[in-house]
Amino acid sequence: MANIEARVLRGFRDYLPDVMLPRQRMLEVVSGVFESFGFSPLSTPALEYADVLVGKYGEEGEKLLYRFLDNGERDVALRYDLTVPLARLVDMNRDLVRPFKRYQIAPVWRAETPGRGRFREFVQCDIDIVGSDSLMADAECLAVGASVLEALGVSRFVLRINNTKLLTGLMHKIGVSSDAEQALLRTVDKLPKIGEARTRELLATESKLSASGVDAVFEFLRLKPEALDDYFVGNDVGLKGASELRTVLALARDLGVSDKVEVDLSIARGLDYYTGTIYETFLLDLESIGSVMSGGRYDTLLAMFGGEALPAVGISLGVDRLFSALQELGLVVAKASPTQVLVTVFDEGTRAASYAVAARLRQAGLNVEVFLGTGKLKKQFQYVDRKRIPFAVVSGPDELQRGEVTLKHMSSGEQTTFVWQDEAGIVSLAERVRAG
């Protein structure tokens, strides 16, 4: 075999246990919350026929597809997101009971230029409610988002909401031509990042707004939600947006999340996709990292395969960004091993007893390793320390014979003796370990 260099493609990465363990715990919490709201897991293939994906992501997105001819000369591509596969699946399974509430947590592939925080393979985590036009569905996404963050231990966050119909109403009102709408929305969307001065400049140059047009945009952005009806008198789409926004706010109150929800008329996200409510989520102690969860209502997108139009609303969690944020906030403990207790092996003669102790502790719900060998205790402790396993069971033959074990807390050196052959002894040992 030739001597091949072991290496990873740029933009791709291994997750070693110290990252993978807490990341997997985070995703378990997240999927637990999704399921607690009745969302079902779903899985779609990594590869799709290319024609299922092309034409869905714009010119820029299309260039990023991993597209190739397979061994049977089929034109195929790796999935670029989870939304187009969802649309395909819904079209192929019209008998799915609606509203269809699904979540999917899976990698997607985009041949981006890799850079700080930008990867060619990354995990998306989406929930969507398909087949309901009730604004209760829009509000439910807010409640799910808030519950996810709370379950992860984050308490200081805000879900900022807007409604694309308000932005459409604004553009009708100030007379933006339809081909300039996207540029205006993209500019408004950047406001928090680029500031008012630069936004004004771009509105004038890129969206060709007059000085009074630019002023009108900022007048709108400063409106209080309760002023929207007056502002949009005679403007149907604007009034509809105001009414929807008001209803979602009222539902958020009913859901008990209104203290986490805030109207932000500058949230834009691109009008070609979203058709109503749109969301972004910011962590108040780390606002600079940007939105960790965003989404909105898209009532036309799922018709892309020629089927009936299907109203849908969803929210997507930025897994990598949120995980980084939890790390920065000290809400993640890096662990190289799930093991809570290492049971040492004194010698060949006590090995069976070590196995029995380990089996009892596993039954009590602990993650337990038995040292693989019968080396010197010093060597066994080195392994415990290097793997940062918090506890070790160390027992000599006489002790084991008496039905006892000694639990050692590695960082403090504290040693406690437990009767391992008796249920109460195992329970109290497990409690000691869980106390950390």
Interacting residues with a copy of itself between 217 and 276 (CB under 8 A) = 251, 253-256
The residue (of 117 and 175) whose beta carbon lies closer to a copy of itself is 117
Q: Which of 81, 126, 128, 369 binds a copy of itself (CB under 8 A)?
A: 369
The residue (of 111 and 331) whose beta carbon lies closer to a copy of itself is 111
Q: Which of 118, 198, 386, 402 binds a copy of itself (CB under 8 A)?
A: 386
Interacting residues with a copy of itself between 76 and 115 (CB under 8 A) = 76, 78, 87-89, 91-93, 96-97, 99, 101-102, 107, 109, 111
Per the omega criterion (within 30 degrees of 0), is the bond before 99 cis? yes
Q: Measured from the CB of residue 102, what is the shortest distance to a copy of itself in angstroms? A: 7
> Cβ neighbours of residue 310 under 8 Å, at least 6 residues apart?
90, 98, 130, 131, 299, 302, 303
For residue 54, with 0-12 CB atoms within 10 Å meaning exposed, 13-18 middle and 19 or more buried, which class applies?
middle
Q: Measured from the CB of residue 210, what is the shortest distance to a copy of itself in angstroms? A: 35
The residue (of 72 and 413) whose beta carbon lies closer to a copy of itself is 72
Q: In angstroms, what CA-CA distances link 246 with 224, 266, 314, 344?
A: 12, 16, 19, 63
The residue (of 107 and 192) whose beta carbon lies closer to a copy of itself is 107
134 binds a copy of itself (CB under 8 A): yes
Q: Measured from the CB of residue 231, what is the shortest distance to a copy of itself in angstroms? A: 27
Euclidean distance between CA atoms 254 and 25, whole angstroms: 30
Instruction: Tell me how crowded residue 178 is: count the other CB atoms within 10 A of its CB.
Output: 10
DSSP 288: G
Compute the radius of gyration of the chain from its Cα atoms.
28
Euclidean distance between CA atoms 65 and 81, whole angstroms: 10
216 binds a copy of itself (CB under 8 A): no
Residue of 94, 45, 112 lying closest to 74 (CA atoms): 45
Q: Measured from the CB of residue 189, what is the shortest distance to a copy of itself in angstroms? A: 24
Euclidean distance between CA atoms 345 and 395, whole angstroms: 8
Q: Measured from the CB of residue 345, what is the shortest distance to a copy of itself in angstroms? A: 8
Q: Are 44 and 104 in contact (CB under 8 A)?
A: yes
397 binds a copy of itself (CB under 8 A): no
Residue of 426, 434, 429, 398 lying closest to 415 (CA atoms): 429
Interacting residues with a copy of itself between 154 and 183 (CB under 8 A) = none
The residue (of 1 and 424) whose beta carbon lies closer to a copy of itself is 1
Euclidean distance between CA atoms 104 and 125, whole angstroms: 6
Q: Which two tokens stand for residue 28?
A: 């378990």
The residue (of 71 and 288) whose beta carbon lies closer to a copy of itself is 71
Q: Are 372 and 345 in contact (CB under 8 A)?
A: no
6 binds a copy of itself (CB under 8 A): yes
Euclidean distance between CA atoms 293 and 282, whole angstroms: 8
72 binds a copy of itself (CB under 8 A): yes
Sign of CA dihedral 91, 97, 100, 104: negative
Q: Measured from the CB of residue 167, what is the shortest distance to a copy of itself in angstroms? A: 23
Q: Which of 129, 166, 426, 429 binds a copy of itself (CB under 8 A)?
A: 129
Site size with a copy of itself, rule: CB under 8 A: 101
Q: Measured from the CB of residue 305, what is the shortest distance to a copy of itself in angstroms? A: 4
63 binds a copy of itself (CB under 8 A): yes
DSSP 368: E
Interacting residues with a copy of itself between 9 and 48 (CB under 8 A) = 9, 12-17, 20-21, 24, 35-48
Interacting residues with a copy of itself between 324 and 363 (CB under 8 A) = 336-339, 342, 351-352, 355-356, 359, 362
Residue type, position 82, single letter: L
137 binds a copy of itself (CB under 8 A): yes
The residue (of 374 and 406) whose beta carbon lies closer to a copy of itself is 374
The residue (of 202 and 310) whose beta carbon lies closer to a copy of itself is 310
Three-state secondary structure call for residue 256? coil
